[in-house]
């Protein structure tokens, strides 16, 4: 019985590590496409129903706003070539 429990724990652990690596790969690919302004690759990585939200803070307080995915992709494509940026996660 104990051997079965150990095997199950090892299987769950290995499966979790594989899922974590898959998630990490998607995140890295997303940011590579983001920096390359490759909106086609970004669209392929993102679900069409994704919700994009921003928080803007000023003297009056904070305001939460929603952005449509199409606006997000247009904003990425319109980043000037001379503007360099680097996202860290």
Mean pLDDT of the chain: 80
DSSP character for 20?
H
Quickly state the pLDDT bin for 8 (edges 50, 70, 90).
low
Residue 56 is classified by DSSP as E
Q: How far apart are CA 60 and CA 3, in angstroms?
A: 61
Q: pLDDT tens for residues 24-64?
A: 888 889 888 988 899 999 999 998 888 888 888 989 899 99
Q: What is the pLDDT of residue 40?
A: 94
Give CA–CA dist 37/19, Å, rounded.
Answer: 27
Note if the pTM is more than 0.85: no
pLDDT of 7 > 60? The answer is no
In this predicted structure, the answer to whether residue 1 has a pLDDT above a threshold of 90 is no
């Amino acid at each position: 019985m104990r051997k079965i429990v150990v095997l199950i724990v090892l299987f769950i652990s290995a499966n979790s590590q594989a899922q974590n690596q898959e998630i990490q790969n998607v995140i890295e690919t997303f940011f590579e496409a983001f920096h390359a302004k490759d909106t086609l690759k970004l669209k392929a990585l993102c679900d069409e129903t994704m919700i994009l939200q921003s928080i803007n803070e000023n003297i009056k307080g904070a305001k939460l706003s929603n952005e449509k995915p199409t606006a997000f992709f247009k904003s990425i494509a319109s980043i000037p070539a001379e503007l360099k940026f680097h996202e860290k996660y």
